[in-house]
Structure 1
C-alpha cells in the first residue's frame, strides 16, 4: 500500500497509487502522494511523471470511513490539508505530470487529474464529484478545468459522472485507449516529452502555470472553507454516517 515510485529510462518516473480496495485515500495516503511528487520533481534527472493507480479505479476520493470514525473534526482538517498538498504537488511539479486514469475518478481524484498537465484515460474511465452527497464541497476548481462551466455545475449539483469519451470531446482528455494499453500510452507520451530539452520543458511548465487565469491553489482553499462551514452545522456528519451505512447513492 502507498505510492510506489518507479524510475524508468529517459527520465520518466511512474508513480502508482495503491490503497485497496478502491483507492480512497486516508490522511497519510494524500501526504505520501504529495511527498512522492515533490521528491520526484526535485530530482534533476526527472523529465516527466506518469501518475497512475493500481486496482479497480484511479481514485475514489478521501477515506470517508476514516473521517466518520473521528468523534471530532481532527481527521477532516488533516485530510483537507492532505488533499491540498497533493493537488498542489501535482500542479507545481516542475515537470509535466500525465495522469493515466482507469475505472472511477471521483472526488479527490478530480483534484489530481484537474491539476495534471495531460490526461490519458482508458475506455472504462468515468469522472465525477459526489461531494454534495457527502455533505462536502471542493474540487469544483479542478472540475472546471475538465468540462465547460454549465456542465460542471450540473455535475456538481447532481453528483453525476461523465465518461472518458465525453472528456475527449471537450478536449480535456488527450487520448482514450483500451485498459490494457493505458500505462504504455502514458509512458510513450512521457518519453516523447522527456526527449525534449529538459530545461526548456521545465521553463515551459513554469510559464504555463504563470499564465493560468485561475490560481488553483487559492481557489481550492476558498472551496475548503465551505466544507468546514458545513461541518459546523452537523449536516456533513449525517451525510458521512449515511454513506458508511448505505454506501454511495446511485446515479439516476
Structure 2
C-alpha cells in the first residue's frame, strides 16, 4: 500500500498509487505521490512519466474519513496542501505525464488527470467532482481542462460524472481501451514520447506550460480558499456528516 515506482520501458517511469479500498488518499499520500512524480521528472534518463493506480478505481480524492476523525482543521489544511502539492507536481513535472485511468476518477483524481499531459482511460472509467456532496469545493480548475465551460459548470453543480467515451469525444482522453489493455496502451504512448530527444522534450514541456492561458496553481489555491471558508462556517461539516449515511447533502 502507498506509492510505488517502476521503469518497465526505457525512458519511461511509472508512478503507481495503491490505497485500498478506493484510492482515497490520506494527507501523506498526496505528498508521497508528489515526491515520486518530481523525482521521476528530475531523472535525466526519464523522458515520460505514467501516473497509474492499483485497484478498481484510479482515485477517489481525499480520504473523507481522515477528515472526520479530526475535530479541528489541521487535517483539512493538510489535505489542501497535499492536493495542491500533488497537482502541481504533475503539471510542473519536467517531462510529459500520461495518466492511465480505470474505474472512478473523482475529486482529487480530476486534479491529477486535469494537470496531466495526456490521458488513456478504460472503457469503464468515469470522471467527476462530487465535492458539493462532500462538503468541499475545488478542482473546477482541472475539470475545465477536460470539458467545455458550460459542461464543467453543470457537472460541478450536480456532482454528476462523465464517461471516458464522452471525454474522448471532447478530445481530452487520447484513447479508450478495455481494462486489460490499459497498462499496455499507456506504456505505448509513453514510449512513443520517450523516443524523442530528452533535452528537447523537457524544453517542449516548459514551453507548453509557459503558454498555458490559465495559471493552474494559482486558480486551484483560490478555489481552496472557499473550501476553508466552508469549513470555518460549519457548512462543510454539516454536509460531510451525511457522507456514507445514504442521505442527501
TM-score by length of 2: 0.98
| Aligned match of 1:117 | 117
Residues in 2 aligned to 1:74 and 1:209: alpha-carbon distance in whole angstroms: 32
C-alpha deviation, 1:245, in angstroms = 3.4
SS at match of 1:84: helix
Q: Is the 8 A contact 1:65 1:244 kept in 2?
A: no
Residues in 2 aligned to 1:203 and 1:29: alpha-carbon distance in whole angstroms: 29
What's the CA shift string for 1:117-137, capped at 9, x where partnerless? 000000000000000111211
What's the CA shift string for 1:29-56, capped at 9, x where partnerless? 1010001011111111111011110001
Residues in 1 aligned to 2:9 and 2:155: alpha-carbon distance in whole angstroms: 40
SS at match of 2:241: helix
C-alpha deviation, 1:81, in angstroms = 0.2
SS at match of 1:41: helix
- After superposition, residues 59-138 of structure 1 pair within 5 angstroms as 59-138=59-138
Q: Is the 8 A contact 2:9 2:187 kept in 1?
A: no
Residue correspondences, number: 249
| Aligned match of 1:47 | 47
C-alpha deviation, 1:244, in angstroms = 4.0
SS at match of 1:78: helix
Q: Is the 8 A contact 1:3 1:33 kept in 2?
A: yes
1:215 aligns with 2:194: no
Residues in 1 aligned to 2:153 and 2:186: alpha-carbon distance in whole angstroms: 30
C-alpha deviation, 1:10, in angstroms = 1.4
Residues in 1 aligned to 2:182 and 2:89: alpha-carbon distance in whole angstroms: 23
C-alpha deviation, 1:235, in angstroms = 1.1
Question: Structure 1 residue runs of 4+, over 6 Å off?
Answer: none
- After superposition, residues 1-252 of structure 1 pair within 5 angstroms as 1-246=1-246
